[in-house]
Structure 1
Amino acid sequence: MVTNRITVSLDEDAQTALDSLSRRTDKPQSEIVRNALTFYTANFEAATTEASANLESYHQMLSSGEHVLLDIDFLHCFLDYVEDEEGEPAPAFVEVADRVASFHAHEYEERFDSLDEILDWLSFCGFLTVRASEGDTYHVVFPTESVKWFMTWFIQQSTQRLPFDIEVEEGVSKAILTEVR
């Protein structure tokens, strides 16, 4: 094996990380550095784009056990299952969903200050897309009418403790949401 030697200056955090990995893996530091360079090269796009911040947030959400990945078709299936023949949600579903929204209202009271922040979060979670905004008015697109119903209802319920109201104008799979102070 041809070897090329390089000298690298490590700050305290990097040295601590290298020492820790060496102890945990029982591998020499040079092998760890080679593996790290190979891994970084293979994952360069994710590590150097805005997506890396999203990946970190997704990792935190999933590793906490509080959130799960859900195929969009399953979401549609669940929402279709809780609706009756007229498309109305089952009272038992609404009762449980009210409790979830109430819990989120407490959480959101400490976390968000505007409708923009909430829509950004829910967009990050994959429930909706904000197509345009003008001032405090947002044009929001949902994957289906049932997701639109569920998410506009959830937004209204989970923001009740915030210092603003929300006006909703509904289309089929779109809605215009306006923050009113």
Structure 2
Amino acid sequence: MISITILSALVLPLILHFFNSTTLPPGPLSLPIFGNWLQVGNDLNHRLLAAMSQTYGPIFLLRLGSRKSDPELANQVLHTQGAEFGSRPRNVVFDIFTGNGQDMVFTIYGDHWRKMRRIMTLSFFTNKVVHHYSDMWEEEMDLVVHDSRNSECEDPWDGY
């Protein structure tokens, strides 16, 4: 009984592989659970991939384990665990210049980021604020254009 189970566990994926191979790119025959991991080993480098592309063509299928990538699963993970995946990696240099990442761009995704975003979107870009400051912004832009046109430098941006 055990031998029948083992034999069917090995033969059934091979049979399914031949039926499903019409919709998938060609590739080396894979084993159940392991996929092509035993053929590749821990050294998945460009030489091995180049040799496989000579055999199977420029696009080929490697199965590296029994998990399949799924766009719906990726979407679900990003929606349920977005805080873990949404942050930028920490960098010592950025921490020095941004006060340990307390600015808007390099802060860790979380409560502080949400507060900063709320401040930026609500305070600075409401219709009332834009209408109130638009004259000053236009005047400042006119001054910059005037200064760059009247500059004695070849490159008007050298002075900035």
Name which structure has the greater RCO, CA cutoff 8 Å, separation 6+.
1
Larger % of strand: which?
Answer: 1
Higher alpha-carbon Rg: 2
- Please classify the TM superposition score into its range, dividing by the shorter chain length: under 0.3
After TM superposition, the score normalised by the length of structure 1 is 0.24
